[in-house]
């Protein structure tokens, strides 16, 4: 029998009202199903750890209550299990908050499971781990380690659901595992039936970013038009016991599900398409076939799997640099030349004082995000914008150096080229991150049930 | 000789960028079956590396995903350190898909017309 999994959030900061139509649609087909929330990024995880340091009751997703409160009662009544990594750095505190929300709503004895074991910071010796090949940038390992979390898999989620969990709260798990867990619990798939584990992982991969598979992050007016993005529907996977599934979205919502939206999300953050590593399986999508099987319905089949990798990816966050950014606008005749002169003046002043300070200048409206650090693409033809914003960004180990550079942009008001205005500046302490590979023996994933009738 | 035209890749393909660490991936997906051979021939590893060299790209691998009529490019060291280190406003490199889609590709004029594209005759 078809099992429905919906997504209610694709990143930390996603729309908090997205889950309601998803829950309604799953409920309309009868009891059961799952709703997943994905809210962790490399940066938000480290921020969670910082929040927990300042207050042991914090460290979960700041929007947790806003995400869960509107759908909790409906999910419990419909037998829809909620699985979210919104525990971030403190899944126990998140579970306690969810239990409080449940009591407020008259839902007693809610069974909330907490999945732990991803946090390996205590006593961690980074020198014992290999660097993950995809980031070669140096991490200042002498810095204070703020967070170290392994991407764990779906097994504990599945176990918790089998033992009656109505809500499963995790920290860092591989995003597709949020969906694979409930699928394995429901269909009783074997963990070494690699093609089925791969199929569930693929469903999770397509769901994990929320509306990115239903028309969000897709529109390109005149080329890829998407109706009613203001009310874009979040995705639902209708999964069969053989691992085939349909991606769709709730009736009456905006957005679109077609071959184009599914292909874009299928390849999103994939490297070798025959070798996508998760803690649960190595997924091969090169045999996947997609069919438009109805309006806003795409059928997906053909995922292949191989045994899961021995090493697990871990992301480490350390106290990082000071990021300073300042901008000033120039507009009208000769705007770009005046903006470029402003950058040259600041460059000369900053270079004289702190020659090794890492810095970058952009000309927003002419060339910014496509540029390298102070390098235009080869053969770049500078446009003549009517309105351009010079931006300086610096990275400093010492806060005072970044502050000095920001003051040099502020000084352009009177000392810079003619007609500069609208200066804004911003200084923030960053958390720098890098990824490593950890042997499974270092990681002890587990779950604990809280609440329920005792 | 058949007349050919140069058109932006954006007219015949769409795509999305993703990041992991300092590694960027950009998919390039054919809008139509007719566009697929053009992608295979024109959008090469070498040309993509050249487009991202100013960002510091050190290596590009092209994966041909026949079942999706799509190419997937994995571009190393193109994100100035990645999401938590870069000075680029777009620390994730999310806008990079449209940089790749601005590549000019050459195709038979007849096919361009059939696909509703206009371009510079060469």
Tell which residue, B99, B40, B42, has the closest CA to residue B75: B99
pLDDT of residue A19: 98
Model confidence at B70: pLDDT above 90:
yes
Mutate to test the interface with A, among B8, B10, B21, B58 (most CBs of A within 10 A): B21
Q: Are A43 and A433 in contact (CB under 8 A)?
A: yes
Tell which residue, A54, A18, A60, A53, has the closest CA to residue A36: A18
Q: How far apart are CA A388 and CA A329, in angstroms?
A: 6
Please state which CATH number belongs to domain B4-114.
3.30.70
Q: How far apart are CA A69 and CA A76, in angstroms?
A: 12
Neighbouring C-beta atoms of residue A186, cutoff 10 Å: 21
Contacts of A359 in chain B (CB under 8 A): 87
pLDDT of residue A143: 72
Mutate to test the interface with B, among A269, A406, A434 (most CBs of B within 10 A): A269
Q: Give the DSSP H or E segment for A149.
A: strand A145-150
pLDDT of residue A137: 59
> Is there a contact between A132 and B50 if contact means CB atoms under 8 Å apart?
no
Instruction: Please list the pLDDT of chain A residue by residue as tens digits (454 residues).
Output: 899 999 999 999 999 999 999 999 999 999 899 999 999 988 789 889 999 999 999 999 999 999 999 999 999 999 999 999 999 999 999 999 999 999 999 999 999 999 999 999 998 988 888 888 877 656 666 678 999 999 999 999 999 999 999 999 999 999 999 999 999 999 999 999 999 999 999 999 999 999 999 999 999 999 999 999 999 999 999 999 999 999 999 999 999 999 999 999 999 999 999 999 999 999 999 999 999 999 999 999 999 999 999 999 999 999 999 999 999 999 999 999 999 999 999 999 999 999 999 999 999 999 999 999 999 999 999 999 999 999 999 999 999 999 999 999 999 999 999 999 999 999 999 998 889 999 999 999 999 999 765 4
pLDDT of residue A454: 45
Give the closest-approach CA distance of B1 to chain A in angstroms: 29
Contacts of B12 in chain A (CB under 8 A): none
For the segment B82-106, the average pLDDT, to the nearest whole number, is 95
Q: Which residue of A has its CA nearest to B19?
A: A269
Mutate to test the interface with A, among B54, B87, B89, B100 (most CBs of A within 10 A): B87
Give the closest-approach CA distance of A393 to chain B in angstroms: 6
> Is there a contact between A263 and B68 if contact means CB atoms under 8 Å apart?
yes
Strands (E), chain B: 4-8, 13-14, 17-20, 23-30, 59-65, 70-76, 104-108, 120-121
Q: Which residue of B has its CA nearest to A434?
A: B21
Contacts of A244 (CB under 8 A, 6+ apart): A199, A299, A300, A301
Give the closest-approach CA distance of B5 to chain A in angstroms: 20
Q: How far apart are CA A77 and CA A71, in angstroms?
A: 10
Q: How far apart are CA A88 and CA A111, in angstroms?
A: 19
Q: How far apart are CA A65 and CA A102, in angstroms?
A: 11
Domain segments of chain A: what residues? 3-117+152-309, 319-434
**What's the CATH class of domain A319-434?**
alpha beta
As for the ipTM of the complex, it is 0.96
Question: What SS3 state is found at B47?
Answer: helix
Rounded to 5 degrees, φ, ψ at A256 are: -155, 145
């Amino acid at each position: 029998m078809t099992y429905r999994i919906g997504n209610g959030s694709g990143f930390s900061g996603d729309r908090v009202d997205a889950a309601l139509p998803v829950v309604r649609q799953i409920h309309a087909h009868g009891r059961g199903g799952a709703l997943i929330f994905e809210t962790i990024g490399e940066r938000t995880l480290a921020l969670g750890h910082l929040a927990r340091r300042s207050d042991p009751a914090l460290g979960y997703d700041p929007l947790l209550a806003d995400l869960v409160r509107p759908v909790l009662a409906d999910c419990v009544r419909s037998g829809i299990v909620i699985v979210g990594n919104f525990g971030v750095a403190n899944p126990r505190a998140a579970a306690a908050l969810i239990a409080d929300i449940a009591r407020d709503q008259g839902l007693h004895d809610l069974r909330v499971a907490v999945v732990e074991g991803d946090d390996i910071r205590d006593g961690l010796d980074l020198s014992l781990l290999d660097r993950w090949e995809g980031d070669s940038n140096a991490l200042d390992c002498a810095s204070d380690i703020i967070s170290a979390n392994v991407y764990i898999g779906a097994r504990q989620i599945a176990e918790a659901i089998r033992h009656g969990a109505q809500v499963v709260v995790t920290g860092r798990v591989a995003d597709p595992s949020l969906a694979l867990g409930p699928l394995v619990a429901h269909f009783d798939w074997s963990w070494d039936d690699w093609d089925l584990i791969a199929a569930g992982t693929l469903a999770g991969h397509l769901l994990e970013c929320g509306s990115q598979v239903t028309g969000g992050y897709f529109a390109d007016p005149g080329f890829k038009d998407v109706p009613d993005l203001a009310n874009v529907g979040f995705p639902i996977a209708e999964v069969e016991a053989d691992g085939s599934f349909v991606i769709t979205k709730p009736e009456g919502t905006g957005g679109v599900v077609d071959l184009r939206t599914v292909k874009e999300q299928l390849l999103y953050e994939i490297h070798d398409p025959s070798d996508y590593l998760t803690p649960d399986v190595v997924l091969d999508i090169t045999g996947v076939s997609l069919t438009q099987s109805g309006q806003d319905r795409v059928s997906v089949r053909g995922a292949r799997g191989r045994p899961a990798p021995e090493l697990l990816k871990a992301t480490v966050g350390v106290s990082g640099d000071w990021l300073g950014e300042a901008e000033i606008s120039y507009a009208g005749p000769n705007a770009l030349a005046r903006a470029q002169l402003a950058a040259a003046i600041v460059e000369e002043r900053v270079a004289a004082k702190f020659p090794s300070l890492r810095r970058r200048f952009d000309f927003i409206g002419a060339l910014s995000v496509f540029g390298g650090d102070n390098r235009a693409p080869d053969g770049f033809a500078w446009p003549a914008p009517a309105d351009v914003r010079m931006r300086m960004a610096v990275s400093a180990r010492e806060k005072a150096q970044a502050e000095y550079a920001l003051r040099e942009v502020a000084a352009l008001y009177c000392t810079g080229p003619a007609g500069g205005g609208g200066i804004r500046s911003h200084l923030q302490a960053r958390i720098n991150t890098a990824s490593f590979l950890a042997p499974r023996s270092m990681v002890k994933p587990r779950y604990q049930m809280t609440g329920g009738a005792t | 000789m058949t007349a050919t035209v140069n058109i932006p890749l954006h007219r015949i393909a769409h795509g999305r960028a993703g990041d992991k660490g300092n590694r960027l991936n950009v998919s390039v997906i054919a809008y139509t079956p007719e566009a697929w051979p053009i992608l295979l021939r024109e959008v090469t590893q070498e040309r993509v590396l050249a487009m991202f060299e100013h960002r510091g790209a050190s290596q590009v691998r092209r994966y041909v995903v026949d079942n999706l009529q799509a190419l997937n490019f994995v571009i190393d060291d193109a994100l100035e350190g990645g999401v938590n280190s870069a000075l680029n406003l777009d620390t994730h490199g999310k806008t990079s898909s449209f940089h790749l889609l601005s590549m000019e590709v050459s195709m038979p004029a007849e096919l361009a017309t059939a696909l509703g594209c206009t371009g510079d005759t060469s």
